[in-house]
Chain A
């Protein structure tokens, strides 16, 4: 995907601190490295760059490093960092912005399950108005892990079905034209 984009449009425009501040609306330059965000973060054990280092890297203009980090996909969006930052930086929202940039530029192979998940989830909602758990999880398992991935999930899915916790067939389409319009406008922007 990343390769195609480059072929079509040349190299993507460089991302600066300013770009990320504009896109997120967050004042990243006010971060004074107190590390409160990282101390409360439950995911640092699996991150390659801790949250306060993400902010520092952006301040220094090292944006490729953070856009290609594991951190942005490992972040569980728990909002602890945002709650505790003394400078009111919505760090969880900065993570969202970085994920959007990463998705546009091509996500590294080891983290590709995450963008696949979000894409499958949203296309399910676009089709049905409400998310249908069974078809969403099955499509994700297949796209992210092939037939083996699907088989791995199927035991869990069958147990859910046998307990009457998943609908086999999705309901009728919900939301009518409005859902169509919302997604159409989102796609037009691109």
Chain B
């Protein structure tokens, strides 16, 4: 048996995708012009699939901070946090994130993926119980493979499904850790966090919330779903990323647990990889200041979400269940999703395409992510283009239907 034989099914599916034209998984951004535009295939393309919720990748103050840091401290740390890779700025960044959340401790990781992978797999071990939402991100699933704890999935966003699983554990020994996400990355829906927290309290379970897509977007001061649901104090661990709203790369975990720092010498994805370069630390510190100083970015983001979501819904597109910075457009099957995606790209608009097995319930999606920097005109244009393609491909029936729109911020 050859090394690649086990991937035969996937290879075949992938070949199918490629024979029909451009490969959605090998798109090249020839030149990025701004948070909302890039040159792709030689032409200017509108970007509506970059997780760049506040558009901070080109924020002049963040860029300047990064450039200055490179001049002062060089391009990289060439070492891990437990060796030569802890600079004063890493520690300052950790203090600033902890202060932002009003928590005592913070650890910064080189990516959000590594934060989830390392923290989750280390917090629970043999004899413990890890309970995860069925639609959890890959980094959470991968953490499950690295722990000796017993892992059980509960139904997506369903507190009663979590409750029955906690109840079944009865008086078995071992800690219970429940993993939730602020906003789910495929359909843009958020967890009924308060209800989840109530269940967790009832059964004495610890709660970890991944705010990857909700940092900046949710909460009065942008701290995410934990803040908007009013349960910051009840969430024992909050994980997040610098790679979306903060426009850079990296991850973090905050907590009030007095022994939290022991993770610095136990979490392998923290210990055995190089730390973030000075330029990233500097731009993230500045981006966090921008998030706090410019709440209008949050309002712009949600105004844009409403424009895109309501506009697409009014045309009859089937969308995720509620307004969110991620707008997932349901399409009937994989080939149609890829065909639609490609037609969009030909029309000068880039979105993400998400197909099984990367999606929940085997759905095929065009995954759009909204940016505060999108103009209403850009989004109107996108709605028009999508509607035209949707009609051509038979996804939309001829006459536009008005539809009641669910959800709000």
- Asked if A and B are interacting partners, one says no
